[in-house]
Structure 1
Amino acid sequence: MNRKELVPESSPEAAYGARLRSLREGRGWTQEELANRMGYTSSHMSSVETGRKISTLRFARSADRVLGTENTADAFEREWREIRHGSLLEGFPEYVECEGRAAEIRVFEIGVVPGLLQTPEYATELAQSAVNRGAISPEQAEERIALVTERRTALERTPAPLISVVLDESCIRRPIGGPAVMNAQLAYLEEFARQPHTVLQLAPFEMGVRRTLSLPAHILTMSDRSLLSYAESSLRGNVERDNGSVVPLLTAYHQLQAEALSQSASVAAIKQQRKGTP
């Protein structure tokens, strides 16, 4: 029987697979026996153990259940999340976790539709562009795309959070992907604006200096009414919880909303932009 030697230091996925094999062999189980207990094929198990296939969240949770590592410091789910977030900026995983529990979410974005409102096709175009530049790997691109769906699912809860989004006009003017991708993305923005717990506004170019924010902003109000904000550079992200920094940002956001187009005027502008796409 051929047995591939593992090199845990070669990558996080290899370390994950090596630990899975070690726990399996410690119980005296074959790959087929563990696979059957987890609901997978032995070939799938072999691929994860050797790092040829990346674990999914479902796989990690199944491994924890069968191997008795649920809710422990050594949980496979915990390791899976650490691997998955390895392609994300520092601070962003913390922000996403808070976003999933926030009572109110406020976003201002420039240049691209924010991740919270991206369609999978739009997100794919952005991720593939990063792969083509060599900024991320194809596997990291898949993680980013999956996160778009995960974030949206986390917000489909009861009671739903109040979500306010202000988009710089460049977000709807800048073409990402082909016309069909942009058409679907703009259509989703219209759908988003129709929800009872959402507000969508455009900050048109003619606002000029009346646009109070020059950088993207993400502000959360938690259920206990505490505030936090998230901002990022090209190298790292930062979650800020100090009211001395967050409150002035929130004030600027409210001033931005007051100067931006109304939701009805914003939707009309998006509809007008869609006329040029199939």
Structure 2
Amino acid sequence: MNRKELDPEKSPSAAFGMRLRTLRDGRGWTQDELAKRMECSSTHISAVETGRRPPTARFAKTADRVFGTGDRLERQSLAVRYTALIEGLPEYLGYEARAAEIRLYEVGVIPGILQTPEYTSTLTARAVERGAITPEQGEERNALIQGRQAVLQRTPPPLLFVVLDEGCLRRPVGSADTMEGQLARLVEFACLPNIVLQVAPFEMGDRRPLSLPLYVLTMENRSLISYAECAHRGQIERETSSVVPLLTAYHQLQADALSQTLSVAMIEQLRKGTQ
């Protein structure tokens, strides 16, 4: 029987299909045998393996159960479904959805988890205008960012520590009403008992220990995961020895940033146009 050669570098779908085939081959199962265990057709298995059909969340979750891979396939499948996101971000979002504590530092733009729909739509519209993403991918991105905020509605909700560079507040995005709504949303978030919001003012200068956006997660088992982005991809780090120095830098950033009270006061002044 001829088997189609797979190139995992071709696309996220191809990478997922290659991972599925490798797991299946490692157990000596045929597509029919895997299909029986997953309660689907062998045709469906073949289509996913060759990248002709994207894995649904349900398919990936079932495959994780059958192969005993935790949630690895479910996380990888996010990269297939969310094509408007840079490499690495879909996998990070899978971790973020289950984290007990989320620490983030952003530069220049309000982080997605705190954005209003109007703010998100404006940023997405500009990306579509530049040709960076298609209109369909823009719709996908808007839906994902709004869905991402559901993590804050979990029971119990995660602890969320946010440090925003002052530029995030001063960079105009959309109309005056859009910015007013976004700043008002930040004030609302700061009132929640599970959120700490701080601003890193420009005056920190070279005392700022971080110059690029950084996300650090504490999972339920207290393991640490960090995520950082460059221009075209995101990097996830799971090794404690590599994450701890980043967490230390984050704590140093928090120590020098404005307190939550002063941060909210700055936001309110910006809303009133007095700064």
2:197 pairs with one of 171, 195, 200: 200
- Are 2:86 and 1:89 equivalent residues in the alignment? yes
- The 1:132–1:254 alpha-carbon spacing in structure 2 relative to 1, beyond 3 Å, is same
How has the CA–CA distance of structure 1 residues 274 and 262 changed in structure 2, closer, same or farther, with 3 Å as cutoff?
Answer: same
Residue matched to 2:70 = none
Taking the aligned partners of 2:78 and 2:128, their CA distance within structure 1 comes to: 21
Are 2:131 and 1:152 aligned? no
TM-score normalised by L of structure 1: 0.71
3-state SS of paired residue (1:86):
coil
Task: Say if 1:127 and 1:251 are closer, same or farther in 2 by CA, change over 3 A.
Answer: same
Secondary structure of the residue aligned to 2:83 is helix
1:129 aligns with 2:126: yes
Work out the CA distance in 2 between the residues paired with 1:158 and 1:78.
21
Q: Does residue 1:115 correspond to 2:112, yes or no? A: yes
Please name the residue that 1:255 is paired with: 252
Q: Taking structure 1 as reference, are residues 222 and 259 closer, same or farther at Cα in structure 2, changes over 3 Å only? A: same
Instruction: Please report the TM-score for the alignment, with normalisation by the length of structure 2.
Output: 0.72
> Contact conserved, 2:108 with 2:168, CA < 8 A, in 1?
yes
Q: C-alpha distance in 2, partners of 1:100/1:80?
A: 15
User: Relative to 1, partners in 2 of residues 1:183 and 1:238: Cα closer, same or farther, differing over 3 Å?
Assistant: same
Q: Is 1:220 the equivalent of 2:217?
A: yes
1:161 is matched with 158
**In 2 relative to 1, CA 80–71 (structure 1 residues): closer, same or farther, beyond 3 Å?**
closer
Quickly say closer, same or farther: Cα 1:140–1:256, change in 2 above 3 A: same
Counterpart mapping for 1:1-278 below 5 A: 72=62, 81-276=78-273
Q: Aligned partner of 1:167: which letter?
A: L
Over residues 75-99 of structure 1, what are the superposed CA-to-partner deviations in whole Å (9 max), with x where a residue is unaligned? xx99985543122111111110110
CA distances 1:159-215 after superposition (whole Å, capped 9, x unpaired): 111100000000000000000000000000000000000000000000001111011
Q: What is the identity, as a one-letter code, of the residue corresponding to 2:149?
A: R
Q: Give the unaligned 5+ runs of structure 2.
A: 1-10, 13-55, 64-73
Q: Is the contact made by 2:228 and 2:235 (CA closer than 8 Å) also made in structure 1? A: yes
Tell me by how many angstroms 1:276 deviates.
Answer: 2.9
Unaligned runs of 5+ in 1: 1-10, 13-59
Say which SS state the counterpart of residue 229 (structure 1) adopts. strand
- Judged with a 3 Å threshold, the aligned counterparts in structure 2 of structure 1 residues 194 and 90 are, in CA distance, closer, same or farther, namely same
Relative to 1, partners in 2 of residues 1:248 and 1:80: Cα closer, same or farther, differing over 3 Å?
Answer: closer
Deviation string for 1:218-245 (max 9, x for gaps)? 0000000000000111111111001121
Q: Secondary structure at the match of 1:145?
A: helix
Question: CA–CA distance in 1 between the matches of 2:60 and 2:111?
Answer: 34
Aligned twin of 1:38: none
Find the aligned partners of 1:83 and 1:250 in 2 and give their Cα distance.
30
Equivalent residue letter for 2:220: S
Residue 20 of structure 1 is matched in structure 2 by none
Alpha-carbon distance in structure 2 between the residues aligned to 1:154 and 1:248? 26
* In structure 1, C-alpha distance between the alignment counterparts of 2:159 and 2:207, rounded to whole Å: 25
The runs of at least 4 aligned residues of structure 1 exceeding 4 Å deviation read 69-73, 77-83
1:258 & 1:108 partners in 2: Cα distance?
13
Give aligned pairs, total: 214
Measure the CA separation in 1 of the matches of 2:75 and 2:154.
23
How far apart are 1:149 and its partner, in Å?
Answer: 1.2
* 1:88 aligned counterpart, secondary structure: coil
SS of 2:82's partner is: helix
The residue identity in structure 2 corresponding to 1:166 is V
Identity %: 61
